[in-house]
A and B are shown apart, each in its own frame.
Chain A
Amino acid sequence: MKILVPVKRVIDYNVKPRVKADGSGVDLANVKMSMNPFDEIAVEEAIRLKEAGAAEEVIAVSIGPAKAQETLRTALAMGADRAILVETDAEVEPLAVAKILKAIAEAEEPGIVMLGKQAIDDDSNQTGQMLAALMGRPQGTFASKVAIDGDHVSVTREVDGGLETVKLALPAIVTTDLRLNEPRYASLPNIMKAKKKPLDTKTPDDFGVDVAPRLKTTHVGEPPVRQAGEIVPDVDTLVAKLKSLGVA
């Protein structure tokens, strides 16, 4: 079985995004970029499934600018076997990403497509579910545990009320949540080895997918600022204030 792992190049998790003064977006010039953290978890899980003998090959794919190659090399250094870059400078929405991934999945026939549940830039949380819909396959979203059992996969999902387990017929789409695993750091020898692993470059046109956006962003602004209140000197004052506010 192959596992296909889509990865996205996004602003680094530790960088505080700055909104551009003209309201056109977030300033990404000279900002550190990294692999989307949820995608790192997806790469790790795919590699663990391979190490456990449940999969033969892990293929990383990224849709984005030429620099997304770096993100793919990170996935290769972690242990993915080969990579596909679908190169475009356009901002590709989840629906178009899902259409491109569907075309790749139809060619590669993976048993599982393992994705991060959301990207930390647009916070859409859509791509996996959309891919599953387009392919007519089951989806195990927000996974905290993945167990392959013959021609099925059991996925434990992080839902509002606790942990839900569903059983999906393979091939299936799985999206990862935080607790699924802790991604490994790539070792230096593996980083060197990754440079020699195959990386194919394609374009959205190769798959006949129109990436024109359906949503137009008309403005990007700062979130409303909440006014700081007062610092109270001691617990007695705090308790008295809470009682006078009627909340305790």
Chain B
Amino acid sequence: MTALVLAELSDGAVAPATLSAVTAAAQLGGPVHVLVAGAQGAADEAAKIAGVEKVLHAGDAAYADMLAENVAPLVAGLMAKDGVGYDAFLAPATTTGKNVAPRVAALLDVMQVSDILSVEGPKSFTRPIYAGNAIATVESSDAKLVITVRTTAFDKAAAEGGSASVEAVSGPGDAGLSSFVGLEAVKSDRPELTSAGTIVSGGRALKDSETFAEVITPLADKLGAAIGASRAAVDAGYVPNDYQVGQTGKIVAPELYVAVGISGAIQHLAGMKDSKVIVAINKDPDAPIFQVADLGLVADLFEAVPEMTAKL
């Protein structure tokens, strides 16, 4: 059972999500190879990940923007190669992984196992369903496995310590179906939400986008935190959708998660309940968020948060 992991890259470097996917792949019990579509530097970096036997580097410009139309045939080709193919393909359940993996699965006629939380056996996995309200154990009957990995559910493999060989690979190249126009990146000095050590999140109680910024930003600045939000706050237009923490947004598990004015709908809890320390500030003592919080403060957030910011 040899597993191929799709490396998630961020600004040309190996993103931490890759390291969690490598850990999941290693739990399948066989050698782990990593596919890097992009710069040589990232391939060299991936070769140092502990536990990785080989890095496949696809340097063709057609793969640089991770267009699924181009990357999926490359992966499917590597998976199906006679004699040297792979038994499993794993991608982190990032927007890139979620875009590419099902396309690979369909090309291989495999039913994908999405968003796994644990490896229970060679073909058996747990995964969240119904927005995290239930956990299903599923067993695949397909010859090959295609999996996306919930990165917060697996420890990160050590980024240093490995010495994998790097092999150049090529595939069909540009499928001619799609082109990358641009990325409007979120301009921020803050840590990225999914990899941040501390997150301050705001909910609907923040009233409007100005108030959200006035209350949440100083606390986040003080803590060096990323800023998140509940779906209610996003729906109400206080912040953009990429701030959304929850089942339909981002899944996070920081050291410290501060939920401000968030009631704690199940869909939000599904996105943050693996955080190490959860702090909830809410004026409603019956808010469900208090049932998962390590430290709860029943208070008016408009008084408590500025006070907290001043005293930290």
A residues in contact (CB < 8 Å) with B: 11, 16-17, 19, 26, 93-95, 98, 118, 120-134, 136-139, 141-142, 144, 154, 157-169, 177-179, 213-224, 226, 228-232, 234-236, 238-239, 241-242, 245, 247-248
Tell me how far the C-beta of A4 lies from the nearest C-beta in chain B, rounded to whole angstroms. 17
A133 to B298 Cα, complex, angstroms: 51
Provide the B88-113 mask, 1 if CB < 8 A to any CB of A, else 0: 00000011101111111111011111
Q: For chain B, which range describes its interface: under 10, 10 to 19, 20 to 34, or 35 or more residues?
A: 35 or more
Whether A123 pairs with B129 at a CB distance below 8 angstroms is yes
Indicate if the CB atoms of A218 and B139 lie closer than 8 Å.
yes
User: Distance (Å) between the CB of A36 and the closest chain B CB?
Assistant: 12
Which one, A17, A161, A215, A226, contacts B130 given CB within 8 A? A17
Cβ A242 vs Cβ B102 within 8 A: no
User: What is the CA–CA distance of A166 and B178 in the complex, to the nearest angstrom?
Assistant: 7
Chain B residues numbered 281-312 whose CB sits less than 8 Å from any CB in chain A = 285, 290-299, 304, 307-308, 311-312
**A37 → B minimal CB distance (Å):** 9
CB-based contact B137/A247 at 8 Å: no
Residue of B nearest to A130 (CB): B106
Give B contacts to A, CB under 8 Å: 10, 67-69, 72, 94-96, 98-107, 109-115, 124, 127-142, 175-186, 192-194, 198, 223, 231, 234-235, 241-242, 244, 247-248, 250, 255-256, 266, 270, 273, 276-279, 285, 290-299, 304, 307-308, 311-312
Please determine whether B299 and A139 come into contact, CB atoms closer than 8 angstroms.
Answer: no
Q: In the complex, what's the smallest C-beta–C-beta distance from A92 to chain B, in angstroms?
A: 11
Minimum CB–CB distance from B275 to chain A (whole Å) comes to 9
Which residues from B are CB-within-8-Å of A165? 180-184
Q: Is the CB of A124 within 8 A of B112?
A: yes
B99 touches A178 (CB 8 A): no
| A226, B278: Cα distance in complex, Å | 11
Contact of A248 with B129 in the complex, beta carbons under 8 Å: no
Residue among B127, B132, B176 with the highest chain A CB neighbour number at 10 A: B127
Q: Is the CB of A215 within 8 A of B96?
A: no
Main secondary structure of the interface of A (DSSP, over half): mixed
Q: How far is the CA of A26 from the CA of B95 in the complex (A)?
A: 27
Q: Do A168 and B178 touch (CB < 8 A)?
A: yes
* Minimal beta-carbon separation of A231 from chain B (angstroms): 5
Contact B183 A247 (CB under 8 A): no
Known contacts A121-B130, A247-B198, A214 near B106 by CB under 8 Å: no
- Beta-carbon contact of B185 and A162 below 8 Å: yes
Q: Which of A138, A159, A234, A242 contacts B256 (CB 8 A)?
A: A242
In the complex, what's the smallest C-beta–C-beta distance from A18 to chain B, in angstroms? 8
Could you say which residues of chain B place their CB within 8 Å of the CB of A95? 105-106, 109-112
Could you pull out 12 A-B pairs where Cβ atoms are within 8 angstroms? A11-B130, A17-B134, A26-B133, A123-B247, A125-B115, A129-B101, A138-B69, A138-B175, A160-B192, A219-B137, A220-B135, A231-B290
B136 CB → nearest A CB, Å? 5
Q: Which residue of B lies closest to A93 (CB)?
A: B111
